[in-house]
Amino acid sequence: MAEFVTLEVDGGIGTIRLARPPMNALNRQVQEEIQAASREATERADVYSVIVYGGEKVFAAGADVKEFAGMTHAEITTRAWSLSSALGSVADIPKPTVAAITGYALGGGFEVALGCDRRIAGDNAKLGQPEILLGIIPGGGGTQRLARLIGPSRAKDLLYTGRFVTAQEALAIGMVDEVVAPDDVYSAAQRWAGQFVNGPVLAYAAAKAAVDGGLDTDLTSGLKLESHLFAALFATEDRAVGMKSFIENGPGKANFSGK
């Protein structure tokens, strides 16, 4: 049973909860437990959408520096891809995902948030990739996902300086999508995630695969991927139900089965 990371399911919404006080430092065990929780959220049919949450005070303040400090070059070389895979595992969940960010989301913590489809932050949050201050760079996807999210110039500014970004600046440059009062972060994430409960899960997965896959390739290849995923949905029960309901009752009234 996981010690620091759990998947809690309520009303179709899964919450991946990080709980390693005081700052949710992401040591190797936490990394592996995030990956296991992401896999469970993917496989469970009763989970329609996922919130990643570190609690009321902090999301995650980064990697466990003491653990890193004791590693040799040979050790980190064999471990680096596992680190990236674990911190990026939330991105592999084929369902709508949202990071509910309170307090600090730094380094590996922000890399976990970057793997979500949406980020909601408290107005007192501090975000960033300060790895440069340790003489290294992000190793859990930060250089790649951040540049895709806010553009290479802004990403390089944050990566070079290692500075902390306020919630207001993060919203302005696209690092987060919504800023609310700290006490409202989780409920705001619930409202967003709740939209997708009992929805067409295969279509959500296809939409996510089309966007994420298309960003990793050229436009022509992306359009071909979209066409393939679009056509595949015509083999689903939800497509038939959705179109029949639209014709008979108008939009937004279909009862999907997820098949």
Distance of CA 76 to the CA centre of its chain: 24
Q: Looking at the annotation, which residues are catalytic?
A: 111, 131
107 shares a domain with 74: yes
Does any domain span residue 132?
A: yes
Q: What is the pLDDT of residues 173-186, one digit of tens each?
A: 999 999 999 999 99
Q: Which domain holds residue 127?
A: 5-194
Residue 67 is predicted with a pLDDT of 86
Query: ∠ at Cα 115 (226, 134), nearest 5°?
Result: 140
Distance of CA 77 to the CA centre of its chain: 25
Q: What is the pLDDT of residues 125-178, one digit of tens each?
A: 999 999 999 999 999 999 999 999 999 999 999 999 999 999 999 999 999 999
Q: What is the pLDDT of residues 53-65, one digit of tens each?
A: 999 999 999 888 8
Return d(Cα 222, Cα 56) in angstroms, integer: 39
Residue 70 is predicted with a pLDDT of 87
**Edge-to-edge strand ranges of the sheet holding 104-106:** 104-106, 126-128, 165-166
pTM value is: 0.95
Grade residue 71 by pLDDT with cuts at 50, 70 and 90.
confident
Question: Domain boundary at 174, 194, 214, which?
Answer: 194
Does any domain span residue 257?
A: no
220 shares a domain with 157: no
Grade residue 1 by pLDDT with cuts at 50, 70 and 90.
confident
C-alpha separations of 150 from 132, 153, 154 in Å: 19, 8, 6
Contact 55, 24 (CB under 8 A): yes
